[in-house]
Chain A
Amino acid sequence: MFESLGWLPTFPLLGFLILFLSGGGLPKRLIAVIGAGSIGLAFVAAIVVALPIISGDAEVIVHEVYTWMAVGSFNSAFGMYLDGLSVVMILVITGVGFLIHLYSTGFMIDDPSYSRFFAIMNLFVAAMLVLVLADNLLLLYLGWEGVGLCSYLLIGFWYQDPANGYAARKAFVTTRVGDTSMAIGLFLIFTQLGSLDIQESMALAQGEWGLGSGYAVAAALLLLGGAVGKSAQLPLQTWLPDAMAGPTPISALIHAATMVTAGVYLIARTHALFELAPDVQLLVALIGLATLLIAGFTAMTQHDIKRILAYSTISQIGYMFLGLGVGAWSASIFHLMTHAFFKALLFLAAGTVILSLHHEHDIFKMGGKWRQLPVAFASFLIGSLALAAFPYTSGYFSKDEILLAALELEHTGFWLWLGGVVGAFFTGIYSFRLVFVVFFGESAGHHEAREVTGVSMAAPLLVLMVLALAGGLIHVPTESVFAASEHGEHHVSALMHSIMIAVPLLGIALSYLFYGSRTLSVERLMSNTIAQGLHKFWFAGWGFDGLYRRLLITPYVWLAAVNKRDVVDTAAGLLVTLSEAGNSLLTRSQSGSLRWYILSVVGGTVLLITLGGVL
């Protein structure tokens, strides 16, 4: 029964339909079972389907489920394509997704819209699975839009507060800009190559578009635009911090583990296209570098626990883009997987902290909580170690591979590597700043808080802790996918290697000095006006929100206000206006006065006779 790949997205889809059509009337236990259970079933199905590929028996499994549309020479189908890359993605999505769903059954238990939550979460997982399993770009775009929709619905989950609605709209509109770019890219690929099937179009591109051809550059740029939007990279990164307005489990699932990695997946899938346009590939790396540095600076200044993690996500995806840009495809996917583990762990632990401290988000109002919140403390510690690439955690292996691959590139490779190392330094600082401020030192509030846990919330955290630590040992079966592009073993000097190990440790040490032992004073650092200015600038995310407001939003709103009486509407209503004017003009001839009527009859007669005589 599970041979068919089509079952994978069907389980979550069925979960969505049941929960949606029942309109929230089912008992909570049943909702939890359906909601989390559908993802669990999908996970089992994913393992079953992936076994042949993992064991090396097969390289690719293709299955066409349904013909979507066939118009002329354009034939698009619901086709599922499974190879090493998709295997990693589906296992991450369903595995981590299941753990997060399990956590949510406990976390969201007091929420009145319990059913709606799980319905949309299931729809999201279904759309994400469609995205990664699609064998043609049109179906991928369907999944792409689906996850965008679910992201909007979930960010604005608590819609009674208009600020949440605003954040949801901001996310949707910003990613839409990227989606439009991607759609145009799809148009370009279709009109030039004649097919949207991924494998087919990549092969055609390699044949027809040579290295550095204009079409390849254009198509790659457009697809990059879409990836940048979805993955919250420069310049479309402004939506992710605000998206923290949604419930914490969705931040974990969508904005850490899965949706934001869709961009990375897209570029990895169409890597053949990017290899045809080396300049665009370099641009990918540069975007990744710039983003990881900017987000790193910003994360050091934030005090909302979820915003720190959000900027951290932006930064880590920057690392993945960096890896993609230097051609380290497998390394980026590996980092995607390990990042899913430790970032989901961090977000879920943050959820526990927030819930236990009665919805407190400000880390400077916490402090000294390691005794009161033991599970959360352990999760944060392990997660932050993995995030900062402490030796032998999963994060260490994956980040190392990317940085080593960066070194291999000539000319710019060294600078990319250096930027990555600096970024790792900052990562160490901000991740442990969080840990020290929240869990050590004096308690600044919530002195009697007790940890909110149940099996449903603790078990996923434990599993993720194990994965975050040991995930580095998982072998990612993507060699067959990227066979043509991969490099061999990396050889670097011992100096470089030790620098890469030491720098995050230095960061951790520095944050210990500032926030742990209080040897160095933050206040003295901040008393400097330059420091204050920098702090303000980095806190505002390097001013992007303000820039966009001034550049785009204000002119647009002004234009809308000017066009309040809608030019197009007026033009369309011109016919109506003319008719009404004509009517009011002619009704004046109906004065009701008998003498006027007689006069007009006689006048008409005279006129007719005149015309009769003339013509």
Chain B
Amino acid sequence: MESIPFEHGLMLAATLFCLGLIGVMTRRNIVFVLMSLEIMLNASGLAFIVSGSRWGGADGQVMFLMILTLAAAEVAVGLGLIIQLYKRFKTIDIDVLSALKG
């Protein structure tokens, strides 16, 4: 039976998560921010799958399914917001969203 060290799987998930985090923090284009969020979601799903595989059950996969559903709904709403942003401000720069200043 082949086996993969558990830490390596989780390490992969953590790496991808942190990369996505960097993207969210750094980028000014809202589309990129949303993409980075997707990366993060995907990474957490990966963590679930690897953990589920470690225990040998299907629960990890079920959880991933839920995450997938969540990601889908979130992307739909997020893209709608992006469209609104573009319509209103004619730009995709998130720095214009500063009405909560002060």
- Pick the most buried of B24, B28, B97: most chain A CB atoms within 10 A of its CB: B24
Does any Cβ of A come within 8 Å of B99's Cβ? yes
Among A579-603, those with CB < 8 Å from B are 587, 590-595, 598-599, 602
Question: Is there contact, CB below 8 Å, between B101 and A590?
Answer: yes
Question: Is there contact, CB below 8 Å, between B25 and A592?
Answer: no
Does any Cβ of A come within 8 Å of B1's Cβ? no
Q: A590 — nearest CB in chain B belongs to which residue?
A: B102
Question: Is there contact, CB below 8 Å, between A592 and B102?
Answer: yes
Question: Is there contact, CB below 8 Å, between A593 and B95?
Answer: yes
How would residues 83 to 102 of chain B score, 1 for a CB under 8 Å from any chain A CB and 0 otherwise?
Answer: 00000000000110111111
Report the separation of the CA atoms of residues A593 and B97 in the bound assembly, to the nearest whole angstrom: 7
Please indicate the chain B residues that have their CB under 8 angstroms from the CB of A592 in the complex.
97-102
Among B6-45, those with CB < 8 Å from A are 21, 24-26, 28
Question: Is there contact, CB below 8 Å, between A602 and B97?
Answer: no
B32 CB → nearest A CB, Å: 12
Please indicate the chain A residues that have their CB under 8 angstroms from the CB of B28 in the complex.
595
Q: A603 — nearest CB in chain B belongs to which residue?
A: B25
Report the separation of the CA atoms of residues A119 and B90 in the bound assembly, to the nearest whole angstrom: 79
Question: Is there contact, CB below 8 Å, between B25 and A587?
Answer: no
How would residues 93 to 118 of chain A score, 1 for a CB under 8 Å from any chain B CB and 0 otherwise?
Answer: 00000000000000000000000000
Partner of A595, one of B21, B94, B99, B100: B94
Question: Is there contact, CB below 8 Å, between A591 and B98?
Answer: yes
Question: Is there contact, CB below 8 Å, between B94 and A594?
Answer: yes
Chain B: how many interface residues by the 8 Å CB criterion? Answer: 13
Question: Is there contact, CB below 8 Å, between A595 and B98?
Answer: no
Report the separation of the CA atoms of residues A349 and B28 in the bound assembly, to the nearest whole angstrom: 97
Assess A587 versus B95: contact at CB under 8 Å? Given A595-B25, A599-B25, A602-B21. no
Partner of A593, one of B21, B24, B26, B98: B98
A11 CB → nearest B CB, Å: 69
A601 CB → nearest B CB, Å: 9
Report the separation of the CA atoms of residues A593 and B24 in the bound assembly, to the nearest whole angstrom: 13
Please indicate the chain A residues that have their CB under 8 angstroms from the CB of B102 in the complex.
587, 590, 592
Report the separation of the CA atoms of residues A587 and B102 in the bound assembly, to the nearest whole angstrom: 5
Please indicate the chain B residues that have their CB under 8 angstroms from the CB of A602 in the complex.
21, 25
Partner of A594, one of B21, B26, B95: B95
Question: Is there contact, CB below 8 Å, between A594 and B97?
Answer: yes
Please indicate the chain A residues that have their CB under 8 angstroms from the CB of B98 in the complex.
591-593
Please indicate the chain B residues that have their CB under 8 angstroms from the CB of A599 in the complex.
25
Report the separation of the CA atoms of residues A594 and B100 in the bound assembly, to the nearest whole angstrom: 10
Question: Is there contact, CB below 8 Å, between B100 and A590?
Answer: yes
Report the separation of the CA atoms of residues A598 and B94 in the bound assembly, to the nearest whole angstrom: 12
Q: B27 — nearest CB in chain A belongs to which residue?
A: A595
Report the separation of the CA atoms of residues A593 and B95 in the bound assembly, to the nearest whole angstrom: 6
A173 CB → nearest B CB, Å: 51
Among A242-276, those with CB < 8 Å from B are none
Report the separation of the CA atoms of residues A237 and B24 in the bound assembly, to the nearest whole angstrom: 85
Question: Is there contact, CB below 8 Å, between B99 and A598?
Answer: no
Please indicate the chain A residues that have their CB under 8 angstroms from the CB of B97 in the complex.
592, 594
23 A-B interface contacts by CB (under 8 A): A587-B102, A590-B101, A591-B98, A591-B101, A592-B97, A592-B98, A592-B99, A592-B100, A592-B101, A592-B102, A593-B95, A594-B94, A594-B95, A594-B97, A595-B25, A595-B26, A595-B28, A595-B94, A598-B24, A598-B25, A599-B25, A602-B21, A602-B25
With A595-B25, A595-B26 known, 5 other A-B pairs at CB within 8 A are A593-B98, A594-B95, A594-B97, A595-B28, A602-B25
Question: What 4 A-B pairs come out closest when comparing CB atoms?
Answer: A592-B101, A592-B98, A594-B94, A592-B100
Which residues of A are in contact with B by a Cβ distance under 8 Å? 587, 590-595, 598-599, 602
